[in-house]
Amino acid sequence: MRLADLDLNKVYTYADYFKWNLEERVELIKGKIFAMAPAPNLLHQVITRKMIIKLGVFLERQSCQLFSAPFDVRFPIKSKEDEDIVTVLQPDLCVVCDTTKLDSRGCNGAPDIIVEILSPGNTTKEMNKKYEIYEEAGVKEYWIVSPLYETILVYTLRNEKFTSERPLATGDILHSSILPGFVLDLSELFSDN
């Protein structure tokens, strides 16, 4: 099955999505199909690897778990039933502390932290929609990493709305309110890029 075989004007659910055996990777955003960008470039992969190592080592003896794309995160609104879920995303990285949200198909509910690493294939429209979804769903921290500008923008959920400080850049240290004691030195993250 190919993406071209689907009606892009139709509203789909996770029940539909789960049946597809597409050649292309897609996400569902409020029932609409969004084709994912081609495989990430080398810089994206290097930064992903460094973040996986840093977060993975930190989480090794904790209850929170780290996952990387491709990993389906379902965002239920009415219910957690497949036919009611219209948004399924594959964030680059996510941390899930409430392990009751995990099942054999991924995560059903908002992860505690989502990390998106920008690449040339990310569109402003896509990023705006994801920001809204993550905020509405109750993602506690949303990190947007820009390899090009060597920055990370951290959004923290407060009173059901994302707030942010200035972007963090090389020389800064990222601290997470969700993971007390976790530190990410951006100079190390962006070194050798």
Phi-psi label, residue 137: left if phi above 0, alpha if psi -120 to 50, beta otherwise: alpha
Q: Outline where DSSP puts E strands in the chain.
A: 26-29, 32-35, 65-68, 73-74, 88-89, 93-96, 102-103, 106-108, 113-117, 141-146, 151-158, 161-164, 168-169, 173-175, 183-185
Q: What is the pLDDT of residue 2?
A: 84
Query: pLDDT of 114-139, one tens digit each?
Result: 999 988 767 676 788 999 999 999 99
Q: What is the pLDDT of residue 123?
A: 66
Task: Tell me how far apart the alpha carbons of residues 58 and 187 are, in angstroms, rounded to a whole number.
Answer: 18
Tell me how many domains the chain contains: 1
The residue segments making up the domain with residue 171 are 39-189
Question: 74 or 39: which carries more pLDDT confidence?
Answer: 74
- CATH code for the domain in which residue 106 is found: 3.90.1570.10
- Is residue 27 domain-resident? no
Q: In the numeric block, which tokens belong to residue 40?
A: 């990430």
- Is residue 31 domain-resident? no
- Is residue 89 domain-resident? yes
Mean pLDDT of 86-92: 96
pTM of the full structure: 0.93
* Non-local CB neighbours of 9 within 8 Å, separated by 6+ positions: none
- Is residue 76 domain-resident? yes
Q: Are 111 and 96 in contact (CB under 8 A)?
A: yes
Mean pLDDT of 6-23: 92
- Is residue 15 domain-resident? no
Q: What is the pLDDT of residue 19?
A: 93
Q: What is the pLDDT of residue 16?
A: 95
- Is residue 132 domain-resident? yes
- Is residue 175 domain-resident? yes
Query: pLDDT of 19-62, one tens digit each?
Result: 998 888 899 999 999 888 777 788 999 999 999 999 999 999 89
- Is residue 17 domain-resident? no
